[in-house]
Every structure is written in structure tokens, then in C-alpha cells.
Structure 1
């Protein structure tokens, strides 16, 4: 019987030694560089269990052994803290490090930029084709209600919710800027400021000119002059989809609510989504005596105080066009 006890003790010792060696090997393999040759993104869907997560990582080449990954997650106590989302794993990341990235929720931050001057329908079309967003947008938001800027989101975020964030950003921006507005402006409401800012946005892409362009329109409104803005004419004809041809003389006589060659004052609504710079330019316009401007052929505009001076600038512009 003593011999059997010795044998059992010897076997137990051998088992413990083997188990210890296996544990050491497993832990070493768990922390060793993985097979991923170059950085890769992997999406962990909501509700995915440990087995599903391991399988996705293996299919993407992030880990080599799903069983080792699962055991490591259980042993380290991280198995229940794994979060859904899109993750970017560096090349040769270990299974241990990959597990930590998921447990800490270090998801990929995606970006979408709504450029200044886009219309509501153009912004919706952009979001509809933005990879990583989910859901649909029911209706095009009111023109001028979105604040153009770069927005961050995570994989699976809702398109309609992101659009709502853009609307809240515009509401906050116009409320803040309205409180800082100059005195004596020829409009009474933030909504009217957005309308004029949208016109300024479409009239010039030169940052240094925005204040001057706004100043010209403010001067014209104060004097009861028509704005005579080509972008408003184009919007009246084509709406938010944009006009795909140059304006004609007949277009300038087109009877639409947005034709500022025909109507007095501001059109009934914005013609695009203006950016912060255009909003600021309208609410704090440059103090100027200019009443006219026309393209100068260099991407900017030639400004004039009198009609005679403006007509000379127009002749120069037409000569350049020819």
C-alpha cells in the first residue's frame, strides 16, 4: 500500500508540474505577439458572446487560438466586461492586449464633415452613404438648421440621432452669437440672421471677404435696396438639389420667392447651411461704405461704393470671362 501511495504522490507531483508548465506556456502564449501582419479593424456586434468574439478575432487574423483567448478572458476576469463596437488592433497585438482593448471599450472614432454651404438634402445624402452609421433619416431637416463642422461618431450610431446633434449644435451656436450681435442690424430675429448668413456663405469662399460681403448686404437692406444675389436665384429655381448650369438673364427675371433681383428684403428662408464664420460675419459685419461687389477673376470679389464704379468692375469681369 505504501508503494501505491508513493506512486500516487509521484503522479500528482508530475501532474502539477505538467499543469504548471502548461499554465506558464499558456500565459506566455497569451501575451506573445499575435499573427496580425498589419493594423486591422474588427466590429464586435451587440450581444456577441465570448466564443463569437474570439471567432471574429481569429477570422480577422488578430489571434491564432480562440480557446486560448477564451481561457485567458476567463482567468483574467475580463470575460464579462467585453463591449460591442468597432476596434482597431495594431500589428502583432497579443491576445492579452486585444482583450484589454475590447474590455476598455477603446472603439474607433469615426468622422463625418458637413461642409459649409451644403443644403439639407445634400447633408442627408452624405449621411446616407457614410459607412458605419445605422438607420435611416425620415425627412430632410429645415434648410439652415444644421451646423457645418466635423462630427465624431462610433460604428453603429444612428443617422437620425447624428442629424439631431447637428441641429442642436446650430441652435446653440446661433443663440450664443445672437447675444453678441452688433447694434443696428437690419433684421430682428436669429432666423433672419441665418437666412442672410446662408447667402453670404454661398456668395464667397474667401474667409477674409465674409465680413465685407455681409457689410454690403447689411448696407443694402438698410437702404431698401434689393440684395440681387445670384445664389438665391439659383436656389429658387433648383432648391436644395443645386442648379447644374450657369444662370441666364431670363433666370434673373424668374418669379420665385427666392429671387432677390425681384423681391425686396430677405428671401423666406435660408438657401444652405451656413458655417460659424458666416454667422459671425452677419452678426458682426465689417463697417464699410461698399454697396456692390462682383467676381474679380481670382476667386475673390471687387467691391464698389457707387454704381458707376461697380459697372466698371463688371466690364472687367466680363472681359476676363471672354
Structure 2
């Protein structure tokens, strides 16, 4: 399909006041002004440019993003371990928490930078637009989103105090010294929420929903044609995708929590709340803000309980 027509510029000989028959039905002439009126028909979903965009990110895009992240994480961990412990085979479980956090931070930042430049080549639109990042929506709704994140965090902490959790979990290793805790606080409130929301609510949520709708699509020409010129997702697809992506979100934190299934179920519910925010606001930035405030509430409680991270022994269960 050809690119959409645009009105002729002032002074262009095409802008004649004499109406002429136009073989293109998408172009009409306003008899009062002699200007072309553009009636844009939506192009097929695979076409670049204006109109109905492609269904993105789909499952292939999500797989690429996760693969990028895993590869860069392995490379960053290998390089840092090689620098700090040259010539020695060292298990990641025995290294400094600062090294672990540093490798994750490098992997997250590198993956986001690669994605920022790579995916627009596939999508024919900016990275933020393809993901529905929409920072403006987060700014407009901040007065509602920030309290939601804080209240959610404090509520989860209250619930977590009532459920069975192992006396020692791997996550405790990141809270041994004040410098470790400050590093984790910065990482957990700034970088980690943004990366996780882009991954789970930006890529996986739409990818699973698109796949669900495609698999449930009637196998007839009319259904396929409708699929090409629309991008709407069904409620069933969003529910399925929200549940599946939330399961993966909880499993991501399983090792940190020693596979305590009660705690993981709580995280699963937190993910459902974040997914709801993302769907209702059409903005990954909104769910990121809620996620960051949720994490911040945890560190605020820890900061107060330990006297500004000076008495970490008070964390003992």
C-alpha cells in the first residue's frame, strides 16, 4: 500500500481552486478552500508508518530481549569474576554481594541500551512507543501511583510477617554491611524496577497476549484480515498473559527467597497489581513508578528498624 497522501503545500500548482476528478478515493477536495482533505485508511498491521501499528512486542521480540539480558549477564559476571579473582574458579554464591549487584546493574543497563537502538529497527517506531512507556502518564498520575506503591509495600510486609519463611534466605547475604545495603537500596529503587517492568510488563505481557489471541483466532480469511488491520487484545488474552507473566515474575525471585512458596505467592499477587496498573494506564512507566515505590517502602522500613542501616543485627529473625 502506498504511503498516506498529504495536502499540497501553499503555492504548489496542484492546489488549484478548480476541482478536478481524483482517481484516488482517499483524497477529496474542499470546495471552499481548494485544499486536499486526507482520509487515511489504516494500513496492514505489518506496514510501517502511520495508521494501525504492528502487534508488538510479540513473542519473538520478548525472546530476543530475554536472550540479550541473559547473555549480557553471563558476560558481565564472567568478566568481573575474572578481574577480581583471576585464574581461580569461583562460585557466584561465594563472591561479594557488591560484585553480584554490579554485574546485574551492568547487564541491565547494557541490555536496555542495546534494546533502545535495536528494536526500533524491527518496529519502525521508537523503543518507548513500541513498549507504551508513556512517561507523561506516570507524571500526570504520580499523586495516585506513589501512594499505591507505598501502601502495597507496607501491606505486603505486614502479610509477610504472618506467613512461614525460612530463618535464612539467600537474599540476607546482601544485607551484611551498611555499604551493601545502600548499594542494594539504590539498585532496588532505581534500576531494578525499570528493567523488570520493561521485561515483564513491556515485553512479556503483550507478547503472551498476542500469542493467545493468535492461537485462538478462527482459521478463515476474514479473521486473518481483521487481525491485520487491528491491534486490540481480548480480555481473555490479557488475563491469561497477566497470570503467566506474574508466575515468571515470582519465579525470578524464587532463589532469593529460598523457594518459600508462601512468599512467592505474595510476589505473584504483587505482580498482578502491577499488571493491572500497566493495563489500565497503558503505560509501563506507571507500573515502574508503583514498583519503585513498593521497593522503596521495604527499604524505608529497614532503614528505620536498623537506625539508618547502622544496626543490621536487628534484622535477625
Higher normalized contact order (CA 8 Å, seq sep 6+, divided by chain length): 2
Q: Tell me which protein shows more strand as a share of its residues.
A: 1
Return the index of the structure with the highest Cα Rg: 1
Q: Tell me which protein shows more helix as a share of its residues.
A: 2
Task: Tell me which interval the TM-score lies in, with the shorter structure as reference length.
Answer: under 0.3
